């Protein structure tokens, strides 16, 4: 907590999949398509998160394999709500009460993340993710191919373009999160759901829970 002071960070940027929530959204959808597709998509996701494979090489391919309908996206939104990291909601609420802007930056499906953001009290305008497009029948049609968040460096570029108030803290678990370190003041590797050693090795701090993350933020409180 920031008792006796004000938050040292003015903006906190949080990844969603395997950070704010305990699932990887596209992998979760793939599991509904059978073993072959699930294994293929999970492998692609893990390689991209480790930095072994550029995200842009597999993003479209993963969605084409899964082809999430409107109903699928609605189910995913419920899965996100069911898997929120312990303490995340209360921690984010406290940060916002203290005047910290909380921004979600994700390579996941924005349509599914918006209900999660509402649950956490994060403004809709502060949800940065990839829109999925459906046809009139509710079937998958495409995704926003102009979104920078479908490429490996997208989170870095998105955060830079938002002109967020500094100091900025970014939190995430994968290599696509680590690139934000180039444009923020502090990066925390979140290991509550997945540990990727290359990310841990290059992070400024490591947190396995939102309690630990809150403690890290507290260290930067400015005394009144």
Let me know if 17 is a catalytic residue.
yes
Whole-angstrom CA distances from 27 to 7, 18, 64, 149, 195 are 35, 11, 13, 17, 17
How many angstroms separate the CA atoms of 73 and 173, rounded?
Answer: 23
Q: Which residues, at least 6 apart from 99, have a Cβ–Cβ distance to it below 8 Å?
A: 6, 7, 10
User: What whole-number distance in Å separates Cα of residue 46 and Cα of residue 210?
Assistant: 23
Within 10 angstroms of residue 82's Cβ, the number of other Cβ atoms is 10
Task: Report how far residue 121's alpha carbon sits from residue 98's, in angstroms, rounded to the nearest whole number.
Answer: 14
Active site residue 185: no
Q: Give the chain's largest Cα–Cα span.
A: 57
- 169 within 8 A of 188, measured Cβ to Cβ: yes
Catalytic residues: 15, 17
């Amino acid at each position: 907590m920031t008792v006796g002071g004000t938050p040292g960070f003015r903006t906190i940027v949080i990844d969603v999949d395997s950070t704010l929530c305990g699932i990887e959204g596209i992998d979760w959808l793939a599991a509904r398509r059978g073993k072959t597709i699930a294994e293929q998509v999970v492998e692609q996701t893990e390689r991209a998160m480790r930095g072994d494979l550029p995200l842009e090489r597999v993003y479209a391919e993963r969605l084409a394999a899964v082809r999430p309908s409107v109903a699928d996206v609605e189910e995913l939104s419920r899965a996100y709500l069911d898997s929120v990291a312990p303490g995340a909601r209360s921690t984010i609420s406290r940060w916002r009460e203290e005047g910290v802007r909380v921004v979600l930056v994700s390579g996941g499906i924005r349509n599914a993340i918006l209900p999660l953001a509402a649950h956490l009290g994060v403004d809709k305008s502060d949800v940065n993710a990839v829109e999925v497009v459906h046809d009139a029948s509710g079937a998958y049609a495409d995704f926003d191919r102009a979104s920078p968040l479908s490429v490996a460096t997208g989170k870095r570029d998105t955060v830079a373009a938002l002109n967020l108030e500094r100091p900025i803290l970014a939190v995430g678990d994968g290599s696509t999160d680590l690139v934000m370190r180039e444009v923020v003041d502090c990066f925390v590797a979140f290991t509550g759901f997945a540990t990727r050693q290359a990310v841990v090795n290059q992070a400024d701090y490591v947190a396995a829970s939102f309690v630990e993350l809150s403690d890290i933020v507290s260290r930067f409180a400015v005394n009144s």
